[in-house]
Amino acid sequence: MKRQTSRFPDLTVIRTVPGLMRAQVLKAKLEAEGIPVLLDYESLGRVYGITVDGLGAVRLLVPRDRAEEAEAIIEEQQPGDSAAAES
């Protein structure tokens, strides 16, 4: 899978999910496994609860050297749901 680049030089986007709540669940799962996570999102989507045209999208960023491990953990948690969450 080709990963998105980010504005943070040492981090890479491993997943883009709709909504902050889902992103926070994934973040907690990854952090429980020792992987640091940064959530990147537009504040407008969170303030107004908008999930149209990417405004509610949240990008999960992890260190580049932990990206494959993080993706495996997410796949393990959501085996049938991963394709819908990818961007």
Q: How confident is the model at residue 85 (pLDDT cuts 50, 70, 90)?
A: very low
Alpha helix ranges (H) inside 13-60: 20-32, 43-48
Scored b (16 or more CB within 10 A) or e, 49-60 reads eeeeeebbbbbb
pLDDT at 20: 85
The pTM of the full predicted model, rounded to 2 decimals, is 0.72
Q: Which CATH topology does 11-78 take?
A: Alpha-Beta Plaits (3.30.70)
Q: Pseudo-torsion of CA 71, 73, 76, 77, nearest 10°?
A: -110
User: In the predicted model, is pLDDT for residue 34 greater than 80?
Assistant: yes
pLDDT above 70: residue 40: yes
Residue 82 has pLDDT above 60, yes or no: no
Contacts of 30 (CB under 8 A, 6+ apart): 37, 60, 62, 70, 73, 74
pLDDT at position 57:
86
